[in-house]
Amino acid sequence: MTEYYTLITGSSSGIGRALAIECAKQKMNVLLVALSGTKLKELSDYLQKTYNVITDYYFIDLTHENAPHEIFEWTKKNRYNIDILINNAGISCEGPFEKFDSSFYENIMRLNMVALVLLSRLFIPELLKQPKSYILNMGSIASYFPMPYKAVYSSSKIFVYSFSRALREELKGTSVQVSIVCPGPVVTNIHTAQSAQDKGKLSRLMHMKASYVAEYTMERMLKGKIIIRPGFLSKVVYYAEKFIPQSIKQKLVTKFFYNE
């Protein structure tokens, strides 16, 4: 009997970790990919023992040029049959554009866009061999329109949104289904929790648990949804984007994300 695997990048914490747990709950074998020094082995052991699934892990920095190829070769060497590719890894940032140096922005673009595209390209021929397979790309409510003070991050997520929808259309009629998930704010670590506290009551109410996002996302991905919008804010922003003038949207986003 052929064993199939779900490959998840950025799976050591936050939404990625929650997705790994949700997949294991659904009896999917899981391959974990994240930076060295993260607790991938502990998570791998936990998933095996708790959910009785097969797991493995690979430490790598996806901002490195050859990282997607290394991951692909690792799966081929171990004869892992991938039927779900989850491009979750990403970097966010918030603040004036000049706050961060050029190397930081280069890493955002490499991780949020380049690695995602290359992994998709490398694995699609393998995914096409499976009777049913999926690519899930991590977007954001930032995928819907440009966001001041999150200029590079939101632009990268707009790219992911456009790429995912275009690729979905190209692969129509094949065994590969492409989806993008666009969550609103999510509590992924102590920093996002503190940020939610600092921005006030509304921000705290809008922040979701990573476990909820993971459960909601996997359910809808498996049902074939192209755009997955966990949480009230993601739905509101998605539809508001179609009717509210750009100038007003920019002012609202600026007020929400940056107050001096």
Query: One digit per residue, pLDDT tens: the chain, 260 residues?
Result: 789 999 999 999 999 999 999 999 999 999 999 999 889 999 999 999 999 999 999 999 999 999 999 999 999 999 999 999 999 999 988 888 999 999 999 999 999 999 999 999 999 999 999 999 999 999 999 898 888 889 999 999 999 999 999 999 999 999 999 999 999 888 765 444 445 444 544 445 567 899 999 999 999 999 999 999 998 777 877 676 666 666 666 666 666 555 54
User: Rounded CA gap, 184 and 145, in Å?
Assistant: 13
Helices (H) and strands (E) in the chain, counts: 11, 9
Nearest to 151 by CA among 113, 94, 103, 112: 94
pTM for this model (two decimals): 0.88
Sorted by sequence, the CB contacts under 8 Å of residue 117 that are 6+ apart come out as 163
pLDDT for the residue 240: 66
Q: Give the integer Cα–Cα distance in Å for 38 and 95.
A: 26
Contact 196/233 with Cβ under 8 angstroms? no
Q: In Å, how far from its chain's centre is CA 134? A: 14
Residues in the chain: 260
Question: Which helix (H) or strand (E) element contains residue 88?
Answer: none
Give 4-257's CATH code, choosing from 3.40.50.510, 3.40.50.720, 1.10.3720.10, 3.30.1280.10: 3.40.50.720
Contact 164, 179 (CB under 8 A): yes
